[in-house]
Each structure stands twice: as C-alpha cells, then as structure tokens.
Structure 1
Amino acid sequence: MKILYALQGTGNGHIARANELIPKFKQVAEVDVFVSGNNTQLPLDGFYKQNKGLSLFYSKKGGLDYKKIVVKNSLTQFSRAILNFPIQEYDLIINDYEPITAYAAKWHGKKIIGLSHQAAIFYENVPKPPGKHPVSKLIFKKYAPTDISYGFHFQKYHDDIFYPILRQQIKQLQTVTGSYFLVYLPSFNDVVLQKILTQIPEVHWLIFSPFKKNPERYLNVSFYPIDQELFFKKLAAAQGVLCGAGFEFPAEVLYLKKMLYVIPIKGQFEQYCNYAALTKMGVSGSEDLNVSKIRNWIDSQKIITVDFEDESEKIIEKVFINNPL
C-alpha cells in the first residue's frame, strides 16, 4: 500500500505530531510526506515535498494579520497546485488539515482520511466558544474537507477522538520546578510582550521568540531565539508556561504537570475552541495579555492533572484496519 501523509505547515503542532506518527505509518505502508504552508519553527524529520500552500500570519498584538494573509497567499498558485498534484499515485491519503491534497483528492474521487486536531472540533460534546462565529466556522469546515475524520483533543469527547500525540523529547524530560516562567507567544510582537511582562517584576520571564537571533535581557524579561534543545531544557525547569491556546504545546505542558496560562490568537476559531475546552478543565487564561489575571494565576500555583494515554496502536487500527481500500 502506498499512502500520502499530508500536513499543514502553519504552526508547530502539525509538525510535532507528524514526527511521531510518520515512523509508525511506515511500519505498515510505504509513505510519502507532503507539507503546505511555511510558517513554523520546528523541523520535519526525513524527506518530504513542500508547497507554499496557504499560510496564516499574525499581527503584533496576538491576532491574525488579514492584510498579510491576503498579500502573501496566491489563490492562483494554490489552485494550480491542486490541479497538478499527482494524487492518483496513492492508495490512501491521510490528511492533517492540509488543503491542497484535500481538494485534489475530492477532485479525483480518491479516498481521504482526516487525522487532525481540527477534525475533533465539531463533534457534539466538544466545548465551543460563545457566539455563532458563522464565517469562521464555514472557513474552518471548508479548509481541508475529508471523507472520514478522526480527531485529537485534550479529553475523550467521542470514540473517534484520541488523546494528544506527545513528542518523545517531552516524555523523556526530567522535570524540576524552577523559579522562572517560560513564554511562547509568537503571535505577539516582542515589544508588546516586554512592555506587559515588565509590569510583573517579581517574576523572571523567559521568552522564546521567532524574531530574535541572539539572547537578550531587559530587566526581568529574557529573550531567546528558537532553539529546540534549549527550549526543552528551559521547559523542564520552568515553574509555569504562558502560551497561545494551540493544541499540542498546551497538552505537553499539562503532561509535564506545569502551571499553564493560555491566550487564544484573536480571530482564530480553533484557538477559541481550545480556550473553551482548557478553561472548562480548569486551566487559567484570558483573551489578551491581562496583567492582573496573569498575576492572579501566578499566585494560585494551580496545576491541572491529566492522564494522556498513548493511543498509537488504536490510531493505526482506526486508520488502516477499519478503513480497507
């Protein structure tokens, strides 16, 4: 069997999950890997093909930059990529919210299975943000359509939803509780983060920033460029983490039994859904960088206990055994 594993290259979560799942898929099938989008800081292991696809870009204050999204994405190039993709070479397409192969498969009538966090969002029992969000929901649903979908989420809201796929580096970390807090908010400009977090001088903040090339420090705020090895080292000894309301990284923080505070990216429906799910679990957060709320979180010392079972074998069974060609 020859399968295509296609994934979205916007954000680090898809890459982190792919690095864990692809070796498992290669044990049962021949696998080609395709990535669209180029807005990530994590490397994808092994050989893969890449297309510019459709990428998201962020403003300086934690929201989507719609002007940059329009300017830097080409619908002509995107449509050409769909029409020219050699989708008929594959017996099965596994899709982690990747639009080019999703629409190419639909065009040619090829079987496509969604395997993503986004697939879990619309299950009935999954928490949703207040309000209808009709435009965001429509875009979210139409972005990468599939025939069958299995999802990942923080809790087992349905039999077809799996626990998060954790990186081996996370599972192997030897953790301690240090005196600093780690920050990963790449949708915020460094100047904004510095301005807000220096207002909480009793805490030492370690910010990993995609905008820095060298370490810098200003008062109680230290900046580091993205470095995976250093990131894991600092994460292992952090007292808590301030980050976006994504999926994989908040799941890893919960697994490590660290304090967690999340801020959803403005205008991104998925992150609002994650924020709703996490706060329902008791995780602290706010929809902006709120100094008083962050200080209350620090004082609370609250840690949410989770138990993320390794469901790798169940995923293989669902994808390959329950869906014969």
Structure 2
Amino acid sequence: MKIFYAIQATGNGHISRAMQIYPYLQKFGTVDFFLSGNNSSLQTDLPVKYKSKGCSLYYSKCGGLDYWDIVKNIKPNQIYKDAKSLPLKNYDVIINDFDSITALACKLQKVHSVQFGHQASFVSSNTPRPEKRSLMGEFIFKNYAPAPKNIGLHFDQYDSFIHPPIIKDEIVNAVPKNLKHITVYLPSFDKDCLEKAFKSVVDVEFHWFLDTVKQIHTIGNITYFPVGQKQFNNSLINCEGIITGGGFETPAEALFLGKKVLSIPIKEHYEQECNAAALKQLGVPTLKDVGDDFGQIIENWLNTQIIYPKMQANNIPDTLQYLFDTYNH
C-alpha cells in the first residue's frame, strides 16, 4: 500500500505527531510525506518527498498573530500549481493533517482523503469553544482542509470519532521527576516580552526554549535552550510545571506526565482559544494576555494546589487500524 501523508508545518506539533506514528504507519505500507508551510523548527528525518511554502503563520512581538505578514506571504497561484502537481492518484491512502493544498489537490484530482489530527476534532459541535465564537475561525475549521472522513484527536472524547492525543514514546516510557524548574515554550513571544517577569521570580529556575537561541546558556535563574525535541522532552519530564501556548500536543504531554500547566493561547488564534476553553474545562489555568503582573501570576500558580486530570495516551495501532478501516468504507 502507498500512503501519502500531508503535514501542515505551521508549528512543531504536526511534525512531532507524524514522527511518532511513522514507524506504525510503515506496517501498513510505504509512506511519502508532504510538508506544507515553514513555521516548524524541528529537525526531522521523515521521508519528505514533497514540499510547499503553503500558508504559514507569522507572529507579532508579544503573543499575537501578524495577519498582514500572513496574508502578504500567501501565493494563490503557487498554491494552485502545487495542488495540481501533487501525484495523488499514485497513492492508495491520503492522510491529511489539516493542509489546505492537499485538500485542494483532492478536489481538483477527484480523489478521496481522510482528515486526521487535532483540527479534525472541530468538525464536531461538541468540541469545546470559547464563550465568544469566531465566525472566521469556524469558517476556517470547516473549509480550510475539508475531507469526506474525519478522525480527530483531543484532550477528551467529545464525539465518537475523536481519539486521545498521540503521546511520544519518550514521554510514555518516561519516569517523571520534579527537579523544581519550570519549562517555558511560547514561540509567539519575543524574549524581551517575558524576560523581566521570569527574572523577577528569583527563587524559580526557568528552562526557556526559544527559536532565536543557538546554544544552551544560563543567565541568573534562566537557562536558555534552542528548540530541540531531545532537550525539550528531558526538561518537560523533569520539570515542576510548564508555561506554554494554547497548542495541543505540549499540554497533552504535560498532563500525561502529571505536570502543572499554565496556558497562554496566541491572541486572535481561534484554534488556540478553543484549546484554552477545553483546558479550562479540565481545570487548567489559562491567561488571555501577559501584563506587568505576570511574575506574580507565576508565583500564585506555583503556590496553588490544582488537581489535574490524568491524560490518556492514544493507542496508535488501534487508531491507525480505525483510520484505514474508515478510509475504505
């Protein structure tokens, strides 16, 4: 069996998930990957056969999206050309992790696909949303990467086709410890936006992962790390808690390990606002913005006893078997 797997690279989560399930996919057939977008900073040895700049995300300085940069970097003619050139009819199964080019290619070439991943869970109206819904956000969920079949991943089973998160083997097999540091991964924030707050919490050690850092170094109570899976996993496994965005994979892994989580969704990023709503239902504290009192908020968070839910890990072989069964019926 020949399998085409499209990864949206507007963040590291999609690639991380693909890296985890790739060995299991190989048991079903040969896999070629299509990488769309250029936001990921993870190194990967996946067999990426096709690439496109696609649609990528650009951030403002302190925790938001820069919509002007996003729009001006979209090249409709190139997207259409890329969609036409993908040889989808050469494949038996097309798996799409929320990529618009692959969805367009399926429509142009009249081939079947399944949308697999976190965004597929939002097909269900039962999946948590914020109090104020975004018409544009809901439109994107419905129309950005539509497929006739959907297999979602989320924190909880909000609908029959939604499965638990894919948790990396390194996390599943880990023996977590609490070495008292706080892991930080907030890719939409520049260093200048948060550094003062972290320095103000003098009794706490921070492991801060930043795209702009090239080598590990420590200044005061902050150790700065380049973004890399091995070092990040080690920091997460041994931390007291993590401060991260409103993504899906990182909070899921932290909850699986029984760690404290403080979530700061990217401003005006509707999917992350939806994830924050789901995390709030689970009792995880979330922030809408970061102000001058952020240092005090961190201290209060660390000093507050919160009972976090135990996150279930996905049974990958069962989920993939379900995917292929669903695809063929």
Coarse TM-score class (shorter-chain normalised): over 0.9
How far apart are residue 205 of structure 1 and its match? 1.6
Partner of 1:314: 318
How far apart are residue 297 of structure 1 and its match? 1.0
How far apart are residue 277 of structure 1 and its match? 0.2
Map residues 143-222 of structure 1 onto 2, 5 A cutoff: 143-222=144-223
Residue type matched to 1:295 in 2? E
Q: Give ranges in structure 2 of 5+ residues lacking alignment.
A: none
Do 2:113 and 2:327's aligned partners in 1 also have CA atoms closer than 8 Å?
no
| Deviation sequence 1:218-253 (CA, Å, 0-9, x none) | 433332212332222222221110001100111000
Partner of 2:48: 48
How far apart are residue 181 of structure 1 and its match? 0.7
Q: Give ranges in structure 1 of 5+ residues lacking alignment.
A: none
Partner of 1:18: 18
Residue type matched to 1:2 in 2? K
Partner of 2:123: 122
Partner of 2:27: 27
Partner of 1:252: 253
Residue type matched to 2:302 in 1? I
In 2, the alpha carbon distance for the partners of 1:258 and 1:128 equals 24
In 1, the alpha carbon distance for the partners of 2:255 and 2:122 equals 20
How far apart are residue 38 of structure 1 and its match? 1.5
How far apart are residue 45 of structure 1 and its match? 3.0
Report the CA distance shift for 1:179/1:113 in structure 2 as closer, same or farther (over 3 A): same
After the TM superposition, which of the residue ranges 212-221 and 156-165 deviates more from structure 2? 212-221
Does 1:294 pair with 2:298?
yes
How far apart are residue 213 of structure 1 and its match? 1.4
After the TM superposition, which of the residue ranges 210-219 and 258-267 deviates more from structure 2? 210-219
Report the CA distance shift for 1:316/1:134 in structure 2 as closer, same or farther (over 3 A): same
Do 1:257 and 1:303's aligned partners in 2 also have CA atoms closer than 8 Å?
no
- Secondary structure of the 1:261 match is strand
Residue type matched to 1:305 in 2? P
| Deviation sequence 1:167-214 (CA, Å, 0-9, x none) | 111122222111211100011001111022223233222211001113
Report the CA distance shift for 1:188/1:159 in structure 2 as closer, same or farther (over 3 A): same
Residue type matched to 2:303 in 1? D
How far apart are residue 262 of structure 1 and its match? 0.4
Partner of 1:100: 101
Partner of 2:242: 241
Map residues 218-237 of structure 1 onto 2, 5 A cutoff: 218-237=219-238
Do 2:129 and 2:277's aligned partners in 1 also have CA atoms closer than 8 Å?
yes
Report the CA distance shift for 1:7/1:219 in structure 2 as closer, same or farther (over 3 A): same
- Secondary structure of the 1:322 match is helix
How far apart are residue 323 of structure 1 and its match? 2.9
Residue type matched to 1:29 in 2? G
Residue type matched to 2:322 in 1? K
Residue type matched to 1:126 in 2? T
- Secondary structure of the 2:24 match is helix
Identity, % of aligned pairs?
37
Normalization by structure 1: what TM-score? 0.94
How far apart are residue 55 of structure 1 and its match? 0.8
In 2, the alpha carbon distance for the partners of 1:252 and 1:4 equals 27
Partner of 1:70: 71
After the TM superposition, which of the residue ranges 61-70 and 191-200 deviates more from structure 2? 191-200
How far apart are residue 153 of structure 1 and its match? 0.2
After the TM superposition, which of the residue ranges 219-228 and 86-95 deviates more from structure 2? 219-228
How far apart are residue 303 of structure 1 and its match? 4.5
Q: Number of residues paired by the alignment?
A: 325
In 2, the alpha carbon distance for the partners of 1:129 and 1:314 equals 31
- Secondary structure of the 1:44 match is coil
In 2, the alpha carbon distance for the partners of 1:307 and 1:198 equals 32
Do 1:258 and 1:303's aligned partners in 2 also have CA atoms closer than 8 Å?
no
How far apart are residue 315 of structure 1 and its match? 1.5
Partner of 1:305: 309
Residue type matched to 2:9 in 1? G
| Deviation sequence 1:254-292 (CA, Å, 0-9, x none) | 011111110001111110010000011001121122524
